[in-house]
Copies of this chain bind each other. A is one copy, B any other.
Amino acid sequence: MSIEGSKTSGAPRRIRLGMVGGGQGAFIGGVHRMASRIDDRYELVAGALSSDAARAAASGAELHIAADRSYADYREMARAEAAREDGIDVVAIVTPNHLHGRIATAFLDAGIDVICDKPITTTLAEALELVQRVRETGRLFALTHNYSGYPMVRQAREMVAAGELGDIRVVQVEYAQDWLSTDLEASGQKQAAWRVDPAQAGAGGALGDIGTHAEQLARYVTGLELAAVSADITSFVPGRKLDDNAHVMLRYTNGARGMLWCSQVAPGNENALRLRVFGSKAGLEFQQEHPNQLRFMPLGQQPRLVTRGGSGTGAAAGHATRIPAGHPEGYLEGFAQLYRDVAEQIAARWQGRAPDAMACSVPTVEDGALGMKFIEAVVASSRAEGRWTDARLTF
């Protein structure tokens, strides 16, 4: 596999991308592909888009993947691509959760970088193994906690890091949806079915699907380390095996307190991910459904609206934006930012230089492990009637 990116022309060559999962009928695979295209740093050249050979082939053909690089088996793909001179540089893994670990391992072992959808695995143990694998292989592993790619999330993170909020005291984070308010899985709806199945989704229902996004967003913006959780998780829809609602109290190692609520049974909510952080000097608020703005509330001053590209935004937000203020960027651009940051990391490696520091805040395999720790701690606390349960994880 060629790793040099230098060319005679001005642009580095496009990164060769492979994909596992994401065949016809899938959802998140298409999102990854659109995200990879927006900034033109990737070309999709190989895939194991389905474990069904015919469907894999048909899906590949639709995506302009050459027939001989459309694989029915990810292991075969890892082996074959690693052997090609023009083999893929990076693989995107977009299968159900329980397959992430083994697929990632196969590609890491083949010397191929990995972009993996979240949550990282279905158990903490498996996540920790993956941490080991990444460290041993030295490959890049990016976890698509995509909200980390929003410019205003980067802005919020930068403001907290710069001390604009003072000492953080209170974190309120929530992610509410309503699409599982009824027994949708009984209807055969595929997206619902695997998410409520412990074998495919792991120990967390709403918790794994969206709670980890909320936990990661709070951590990403504040930089705080979670110390312990006290939780109460519930399945409201009769017969459902995993939680569809979780209430969690949070304690951080710096003494801050917080609350996390995630729910998939809250009518009127689509993807209502909302983070509020309050410090000794100021507060801020971010709402995912309106990602081009941030509310900043300095103590004793008038609340201010910070807009993407608008006055007073900093370098981190600027790094993650494509178009001027007032023309909204959305979910796909935020997702694309992770792809762009990974591309920068790869290009820097090709060129033997340090990557742009701004591109180094992509969620990692360790973030994934912390998410699994969070799920396991919440489930354990809830089973122990809300006992405060350690959520720390030292690598």
Q: List chain A positions with a Cβ less than 8 A from chain B.
A: 9-11, 14, 27, 30-31, 33-34, 37-40, 58, 61-64, 67, 169-170, 172, 174, 177-178, 181-182, 230, 232, 234, 236, 245, 247, 249, 251, 257-259, 261, 263, 265-272, 276, 278-283, 285, 288-292, 295-307, 309-312, 322-333, 385-388
User: Whole-angstrom distance between the alpha carbons of A61 and B324 in the complex?
Assistant: 25
Q: Are B304 and A311 touching (Cβ within 8 A)?
A: no
Is B387 touching A177 in the complex (CB atoms < 8 A)?
Answer: no
Asked if B331 and A331 sit within 8 Å, CB to CB, the answer is no
* A177 / chain B contacts, CB cutoff of 8 Å: 326
Give the one of A300, A387, A388 with max B CB within 10 A: A300
A9 touches B64 (CB 8 A): yes
8 Å CB contact of A38 from B58, B325, B332:
B332
Copies of this chain in the oligomer: 4
Residue of B nearest to A182 (CB): B299
Given A290-B290, A291-B328, 10 extra CB contacts under 8 A: A9-B64, A9-B67, A34-B38, A169-B236, A232-B257, A268-B278, A268-B282, A288-B326, A302-B306, A329-B332
Q: How far is the CB of A350 from chain B (nearest CB, A)?
A: 16
Do B283 and A297 touch (CB < 8 A)?
Answer: no
CB distance from A294 to the nearest CB of B (A): 10
Chain B: CB-nearest residue to A30: B322
Interface pairs (22), CB distance under 8 Å: A10-B58, A27-B324, A34-B38, A40-B64, A178-B299, A230-B232, A245-B257, A265-B278, A266-B276, A266-B278, A268-B283, A268-B297, A268-B298, A270-B307, A270-B327, A291-B328, A302-B305, A303-B305, A305-B305, A327-B331, A332-B332, A332-B333
**Given that A305-B302, A323-B332 are known contacts, is A310 also in contact with B266, CB under 8 Å in the complex?**
no
Among A169, A310, A330, A387, chain B packs the most CB atoms within 10 A around the CB of A330
A39: chain B residues at CB < 8 Å are 34
Q: A386 touching B249 by the CB < 8 A rule?
A: yes
CB < 8 Å: which of B38, B257, B269, B279 contacts A234? B257
In the bound complex, CA of A333 to CA of B368 (Å): 30
Q: Give the CA-CA distance A271 to B172 in the complex, in Å.
A: 17
- Inter-chain CA distance A291–B9, complex, in Å, is 39
Residues of B within 8 A of A14 (CB): 64
Least distance between A356 CB and chain B CB atoms (Å): 17
Give min CB distance, A60 to chain B, whole Å: 8
- In the bound complex, do residue A301 and residue B297 qualify as a contact, i.e. CB atoms below 8 Å apart? no
Which 7 residue pairs spanning A and B have beta carbons closest together?
A: A268-B297, A270-B326, A271-B326, A330-B330, A9-B61, A327-B331, A328-B330
Quote the shortest CB–CB distance from A382 to chain B (angstroms). Answer: 10
Among A27, A268, A282, A301, find the residue whose CB has the most chain B CB atoms closer than 10 A: A268
Tell whether, in the assembled complex, residue B265 and residue A181 are in contact, meaning their CB atoms are under 8 Å apart.
Answer: no
Whether A265 contacts B169 by the Cβ 8 Å rule is yes
